[in-house]
């Protein structure tokens, strides 16, 4: 096994999981993280406090021996609970049954679990250490501590797992341009909170559909779709929900530019989300104190500098959060990279090139699908044509399971490459549109003839790995 130490910048979710997997494979790993150790100082928020864990991420955690520990700290979500303007709600399942669910996990709790696991595997962590600069020719990096005191270190192999605002990417780009392109969505977000049911008046809870300590049905991702914007809510283990408002950043109402303060926002909520507003008792303080987050997609032509430095996770391919796959994609990255390095520990240039060759088409594909899913979540989930396609797809999944699986299920509950899921989804969608164009009412469609259309036009699906 290679004796050179692997240096990782970034001790968040992807950095910690990668470090643990490399250490398990016999590498010496040092991790430098700019924030304090969350196990000592408490987790610093500012980014979404819970995340959707799906099969790809779970498979990476299984590889690391951590899946069971994580699931004990997670809340199952069976599907989307869609809340209409009229106050009525209905569940749209993600999968066929409870074997196909996603899990709401706390970012902070997951990060601390991964740090513990990596340390147990022998990883050395150094907190409150920010990357200042890197000299890739001399193979040295400069770090600064919390007091601003700087020091230099030699590095062999450098991996940037430091997120969308990656300092490693900036230093690599300064050394040799990476072909960076950042596309802003033009929409932004703000987080609010529904507290546990015990903190809300009984009258408010009577119509909300919650149970036990939850104000809403706990086993669902809640969506209030309103066309060009939406709210979502994800459950937390202690009974609260993290609510996120997604709106255009600028422009005519409604946008964040037209909601300058909590008073304006409360008036907007009382009109557009009247069933949600009473569940957020600290609405005014949350709205005025929580920052507005931006949403962008990152594209790079190059993820590495020969064998000296590589970007992974959001540092290489940050995406918008609307497919719940950012963390899952990053976790999938870690397994691919750890396996490649274990197979060729002394040829980092070839490993880094192969990693980009394998992962970049899939990162591009999930970026595309995440953008498409925003439109679906904020608009299509309440659209009759979308609901007809969903109904027809469910019938075909029963009648022709070798030839039809909804794209969401391919992405979320299987391990097929994202790029395959994107192309297969488009091919399936063309056939669904063809069937509904001829007969817009699903009840009037000959399902056996529809199944024959799929069998004659599409290759059988690959063997799908679940769990």
The 10s digit of each residue's pLDDT in 332-383 is 999 999 999 999 999 999 999 999 999 999 999 999 999 998 887 777 666 8
Tell me if the bond preceding 81 is cis, omega within 30° of 0. Answer: no
In this structure, of 43-52, 118-127, 191-200, 372-381, the range with the lowest mean pLDDT score is 43-52
Q: Who has greater pLDDT, 190 or 210? A: 190
CB-count burial class (<10 Å; 0-12, 13-18, 19+) for 339: middle
Q: Which two tokens stand for residue 177?
A: 């341009």
The 10s digit of each residue's pLDDT in 203-249 is 888 767 778 899 999 999 999 999 889 999 999 988 999 999 999 99
Distance of CA 440 to the CA centre of its chain: 34
Q: In the predicted model, is pLDDT for residue 1 greater than 50?
A: no
* Residue found under tokens 């599907």: 79
Q: Residue 17: name the closest of 79, 74, 67, 86 by CA.
A: 67
Residue 377: the pLDDT is 75
- Say what the pTM is: 0.94
Answer whether 51's CB lies under 8 Å from 107's CB: yes
In this structure, of 182-186, 312-316, 320-324, 382-386, the range with the lowest mean pLDDT score is 382-386
Q: Give me the long-range contacts of 151-156 (CB less than 8 A, separation at least 24).
A: 153/7, 155/5, 155/7, 156/4, 156/5, 156/6, 156/7
Distance of CA 53 to the CA centre of its chain: 8
Answer whether 398's CB lies under 8 Å from 453's CB: no
Full DSSP string of 237-272:
TTS-EEEEEEEESSSSSSSGGG--SHHHHHHHHHHH
Distance CA 56, CA 329 (A): 7
Q: In the predicted model, is pLDDT for residue 46 greater than 50?
A: no
Q: How far is CA 344 from CA 2, 121, 178, 396, in A?
A: 9, 21, 25, 44
Distance CA 314, CA 20 (A): 18
Q: Is the four-CA dihedral 216, 220, 222, 223 of positive or negative sign?
A: negative
Report the chain's mean pLDDT, rounded to a whole number: 93
């Amino acid at each position: 096994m290679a004796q050179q130490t692997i240096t990782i910048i970034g001790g968040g979710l992807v950095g910690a999981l990668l470090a643990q997997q490399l250490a398990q494979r016999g590498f010496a790993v040092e991790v430098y993280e700019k924030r304090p150790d969350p196990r000592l100082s408490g987790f610093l928020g500012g980014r979404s406090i819970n995340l959707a864990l799906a099969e790809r991420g779970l498979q990476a955690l299984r590889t690391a021996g951590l899946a069971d520990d994580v699931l004990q700290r997670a809340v199952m979500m069976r599907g989307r609970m869609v809340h209409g303007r009229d106050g009525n709600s209905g569940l749209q399942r993600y999968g066929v049954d409870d074997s196909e669910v996603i899990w709401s996990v706390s970012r902070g709790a997951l990060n601390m679990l991964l740090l513990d696991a990596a340390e147990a595997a022998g990883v050395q962590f150094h907190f409150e250490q920010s990357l200042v600069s890197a000299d890739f020719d001399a193979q040295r990096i400069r770090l600064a501590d919390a007091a601003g005191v700087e020091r230099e270190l030699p590095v062999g192999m450098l991996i940037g797992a430091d997120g969308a605002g990656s300092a490693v990417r900036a230093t690599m780009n300064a050394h040799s341009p990476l072909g960076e392109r950042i596309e802003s969505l033009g929409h932004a977000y703000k987080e609010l909170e529904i507290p546990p049911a015990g903190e809300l008046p009984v009258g408010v809870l009577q119509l909300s559909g919650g149970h036990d300590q939850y104000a809403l049905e706990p086993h669902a991702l809640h969506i209030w779709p309103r066309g060009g914007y939406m709210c979502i809510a994800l459950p937390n283990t202690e009974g609260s929900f993290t609510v996120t408002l997604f709106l255009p950043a600028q422009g005519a109402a409604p946008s964040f530019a037209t909601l300058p303060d909590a008073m304006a926002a409360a008036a907007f909520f009382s009109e557009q989300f009247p069933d949600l507003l009473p569940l957020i008792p600290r609405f005014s303080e949350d709205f005025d104190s929580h920052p507005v987050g931006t949403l962008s997609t990152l594209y790079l032509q190059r993820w590495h500098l020969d064998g000296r430095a590589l970007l992974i996770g959001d540092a290489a391919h940050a995406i918008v959060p609307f497919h719940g796959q950012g963390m899952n994609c990053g976790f999938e990255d870690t397994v691919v990279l750890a396996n490649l390095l274990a197979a060729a520990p002394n040829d980092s240039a070839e490993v880094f090139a192969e990693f980009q060759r394998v992962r970049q088409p899939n990162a591009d594909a999930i970026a595309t699908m995440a953008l498409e899913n925003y439109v679906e979540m904020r608009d299509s989930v309440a659209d009759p044509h979308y609901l007809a396609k969903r109904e027809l797809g469910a019938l075909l999944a029963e009648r022709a399971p070798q030839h039809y699986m909804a794209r969401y299920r391919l992405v979320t509950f299987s391990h097929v490459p994202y790029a395959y899921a994107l192309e297969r989804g488009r091919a399936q969608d063309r056939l669904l549109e063809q069937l509904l164009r001829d007969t817009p009412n699903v009840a009037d469609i000959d399902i056996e003839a529809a199944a024959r259309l799929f069998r004659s036009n599409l290759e059988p699906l690959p063997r799908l790995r679940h769990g």
